[in-house]
A and B are shown apart, each in its own frame.
Chain A
């Protein structure tokens, strides 16, 4: 196997996980990862030797994600009603996984910058410094986004269920 592929491939599962957790869309996430890998190959010669490859790959992925979000915002959201319903109600929901499912849904409802920090630190195990580099923000910002994200998560999972909407005439 060639050397560059050997260096990058071990990171692909984590990149897919991060992309999927950000987008919650199977094909969209793999598109994002594919773009990220293509870009890392075309930029390979610009990579700093001895730099953190994992953080570098996550930086590329994250920039592409932000770029995609900006573009979608510019083009206006084009989401089907069906898709929204799909996202809110995953097909598989056995009782035992109820809490777990709530966590992911709760994470999804966080603002994108908080979601990214939480996933990079808690799931991808990046150090605060590496996460700061990936997101292009100071470490202090990483810390404060993280504690805001957690505060919000706590509130979401401990909050009583929303009241049933009633029609008022």
Chain B
């Protein structure tokens, strides 16, 4: 059947009001409206309401934009605070250099310094991969705290990370249910590992640790059948790992990064 032969639907009428009706439907709709003048009248009312609404809101878009919404100014502010962060980082690395020269005691239990910025995400991804390999195969004790105690889990991990950790909900979008989480050592810091599983028992882990520097995009790494996406944002490193195809895992990574970003905005607003 040709599209022009389909009976006229509510969606055609809606598209007609919005001027978004595809050309091949014009004839069908015109014929229908000639035969149904009351529908024609209804659509005319819809159109006049739309015009009235646009007219009413026009002045709002014509107002001068307040200075605080000037993107150029916001960017300048961000650059300033970024330079400050770099200055702090430079000071911190000097401190580390001095510490190393003096036989820095921490080295003994950190297993060497973390890779420096630029490749920082690769070290992060490797640590997350080992955690994933260790715990995703675990049958009896995959997690320390189960999903049934989600609130406690979130409070506990937030306290140990010294940073509010929201547990992303991946069930609606990806069919991944939370299994639970655990705490892991990560050099001088700690890391949190959250585990999710889909209906067929495939596991995905989300690794989060603080003490990172810089900011990166999502970085892909694959080892054997396990894929990872790692990124650093605002001093926190994140890694999702699963035996999953790259595209799907990237979607999960995006959703997770959005969730954490939302949380960051929220906590800034609360200050």
**A residues apposed to B, CB below 8 Å:** 1-2, 4-5, 8-9, 12-14, 16-17, 20-21, 30-31, 33-35, 37-39, 41-43, 45-46, 63-64, 67, 71, 99-101, 103-104, 107, 118, 121-123, 127-128, 140, 143-144, 146-147, 150, 153-154, 157-158
Residues of chain B in range 43-95 having any CB-CB distance to chain A below 8 Å: 45-46, 49-50, 52-57, 60-63, 65-66, 68-72, 74-75, 78
Where chain B touches its partner, the secondary structure class is helix
Considering the chains assembled together, what is the distance between the CA atoms of A71 and B262 in angstroms? 12
Establish whether residues A67 and B266, one from each chain, have CB atoms under 8 Å apart when the complex forms: yes
B65 neighbours in A (Cβ, 8 Å): 9, 12-13, 16
Residues of chain B in range 221-248 having any CB-CB distance to chain A below 8 Å: 233-234
Indicate if B217 sits at the interface (CB-CB under 8 A): yes
A11 to chain B, nearest CB (A): 9
A45 to chain B, nearest CB (A): 4
The total of chain B residues at the interface (CB under 8 A) is 48
A121 neighbours in B (Cβ, 8 Å): 18
A43 neighbours in B (Cβ, 8 Å): 257-258, 261
Establish whether residues A67 and B262, one from each chain, have CB atoms under 8 Å apart when the complex forms: yes
Establish whether residues B266 and A5, one from each chain, have CB atoms under 8 Å apart when the complex forms: no
Whether A103 touches B53, Cβ cut-off 8 Å, given contacts A16-B63, A42-B261, A147-B14, is yes
**CB closest chain-A residue, reference B52:** A103
Establish whether residues A147 and B10, one from each chain, have CB atoms under 8 Å apart when the complex forms: yes
Considering the chains assembled together, what is the distance between the CA atoms of A120 and B175 in angstroms? 29
Establish whether residues A103 and B69, one from each chain, have CB atoms under 8 Å apart when the complex forms: no
A2 neighbours in B (Cβ, 8 Å): 72, 75
Establish whether residues B69 and A16, one from each chain, have CB atoms under 8 Å apart when the complex forms: yes
**CB closest chain-B residue, reference A42:** B261
- Among candidates B13, B61, B262, B266, residue contacting A14 with C-beta atoms closer than 8 Å: B61
Where chain A touches its partner, the secondary structure class is helix
Establish whether residues A104 and B56, one from each chain, have CB atoms under 8 Å apart when the complex forms: yes
Establish whether residues B60 and A42, one from each chain, have CB atoms under 8 Å apart when the complex forms: no
B60 neighbours in A (Cβ, 8 Å): 13, 16-17, 20-21
A97 to chain B, nearest CB (A): 8
Establish whether residues B71 and A37, one from each chain, have CB atoms under 8 Å apart when the complex forms: yes
A99 neighbours in B (Cβ, 8 Å): 52
A-B pairs with lowest CB-CB distance, top 9 = A5-B72, A5-B71, A13-B61, A17-B61, A17-B60, A45-B217, A103-B52, A122-B50, A143-B11
- Among candidates B15, B53, B69, residue contacting A123 with C-beta atoms closer than 8 Å: B53
A33 to chain B, nearest CB (A): 6
Establish whether residues B54 and A46, one from each chain, have CB atoms under 8 Å apart when the complex forms: no
Establish whether residues A146 and B14, one from each chain, have CB atoms under 8 Å apart when the complex forms: yes
A31 neighbours in B (Cβ, 8 Å): 269
Considering the chains assembled together, what is the distance between the CA atoms of A41 and B82 in angstroms? 13
B155 neighbours in A (Cβ, 8 Å): none
27 A-B pairs within 8 Å (CB atoms) are namely A2-B72, A5-B71, A9-B70, A9-B71, A13-B62, A16-B60, A16-B61, A17-B60, A21-B57, A30-B69, A33-B69, A37-B71, A38-B74, A42-B264, A43-B257, A46-B217, A46-B254, A101-B56, A104-B56, A118-B53, A122-B50, A123-B57, A150-B49, A153-B46, A154-B42, A154-B46, A157-B49
